[in-house]
Structure 1
Amino acid sequence: MYVIGIDPGPITGIALLITQGPAVGSANAPTRLLGAEALQVTHGLVPYVLDSLLTVVVPQATVVAVERFVVGPRAARSAHGGSGEVTRELVGVIAHWAKRNQVTCRGWSAAEVKPWATDGRLDAAGLLEATKGMRHARDGARHALYCAVRDFGLADPLSRKAGAR
């Protein structure tokens, strides 16, 4: 399974998690995280990056976990006036890309994901180092990890099941 986490915006963070489900006959085994990659790009390159990822991922075994843009007081105070518009448009572009390529698309607000997907949890999953110096990619990794644990059987990195103490 591939989970592409995306933090949309003028600078977009993208994280790719590569997971492996339990082997046949071992239904109790958790899904494992095999690897992760991350990058940040300007918003105009997002469709091209996603198209490039199609050469690596299997669409039927891929999900895009994108941050839903919520209009609220914080968005209204943004230092960059057009950021909200770019972000909203990009969420639509990503949803359209997913539909066109038969990739499942899920979305959660930052308020739903960030309290759970803490730096400690990212570190336990090995994602903190992969996103070092890329705060938007780190937020994309938060969405990918949240989706992989919540919907696809990856063990919570802080749980005993995942080996945490």
Structure 2
Amino acid sequence: MIDHVIGIDPGPIPGIVMLTPKFHPGGRTQLLPDVVQCSASTAPVVLYSLLNEIRGHQKSGGRAPALVQIERFVVGRASMRGGKAGEQTRDLIGRLQREADAQPNVSVVMRSANEVKAWATDARLEAAGLLEATKGMRHAKDACRHALFAAVKDGGIPDPLSRRNS
């Protein structure tokens, strides 16, 4: 099991969501969200702060497992028209990846928005109790999709729509 999962939607207005699983008797898992929507210039500082906080609460045994999933920039017609925003997004992804890679016990995963959004629907976010936390913050909501996807696919957290998490 993973202790923290951070999902990031990079861009001119990045969203960053950290999910911390809380395990309840009977096997139910609650995901506690920390939600941020910020500027591109502050996103690496936010990521560093979250990872530093995780390290500060490190569990015994010398592990502070964290998984960071960053939306992969896919070059296509829309992104090629993006100009300055596309360049800013690519630069930010590199900065965020370097920040996460520089931290101990942090794994980084890159996935495209198409791969994640097809699975991490609003219904799945609602079932996980995460939809309200991102209300009115489109980029944070997309970051939450990445965090939930990584938590389930890579972190061993039960799918919120599965029967074993009821």
Interval of TM-score (by shorter of Structure 1 and Structure 2)? 0.7 to 0.9
Question: Per-residue deviation at 1:21?
Answer: 6.6
Residue number among 16, 19, 44 corresponding to 1:17 in the alignment: 19
- For the Cα contact (< 8 Å) 1:17–1:33, is it kept in 2? no
1-side partners of 2:20 and 2:30: how far apart? 6
Identity %: 49
**1:22/1:128 CA distance change after superposition, 3 Å:** closer
Question: TM-score by structure 2 length?
Answer: 0.86
Q: Residues 84-125 of structure 1: CA distance to partner in whole angstroms, max 9, x if unpaired?
A: 111111111111001111221111000100000000100110
Q: Residues 27-76 of structure 1: CA distance to partner in whole angstroms, max 9, x if unpaired?
A: xx57x234112110000001111122134213731111110000012213
The question of 1:128 aligning with 2:143 is answered no
- For the Cα contact (< 8 Å) 1:33–1:154, is it kept in 2? no
- The alignment partner of 2:38 has SS state of strand
- For the Cα contact (< 8 Å) 1:4–1:65, is it kept in 2? yes
Question: Per-residue deviation at 1:20?
Answer: 4.5
Residue number among 29, 37, 41 corresponding to 2:38 in the alignment: 41
Residue number among 70, 76, 95 corresponding to 2:74 in the alignment: 70
- For the Cα contact (< 8 Å) 1:66–1:107, is it kept in 2? yes
- For the Cα contact (< 8 Å) 2:15–2:36, is it kept in 1? yes
- The alignment partner of 2:100 has SS state of helix
2-side partners of 1:22 and 1:130: how far apart? 21
- The alignment partner of 1:155 has SS state of coil
2-side partners of 1:9 and 1:69: how far apart? 9
2-side partners of 1:150 and 1:9: how far apart? 24
- The alignment partner of 1:92 has SS state of helix
Within a 5 Å distance, the mapping from 1:1-165 to structure 2 comes to 1-20=3-22, 29=27, 32-58=29-55, 60-78=64-82, 81-102=83-104, 103-163=106-166
| Count of residues paired in the alignment | 156
Question: Per-residue deviation at 1:162?
Answer: 1.4
2-side partners of 1:15 and 1:111: how far apart? 18
Counterpart residue identity of residue 116, structure 2 = V
Question: Per-residue deviation at 1:152?
Answer: 1.1
1-side partners of 2:36 and 2:43: how far apart? 11
| Superposition RMSD in Å | 1.9
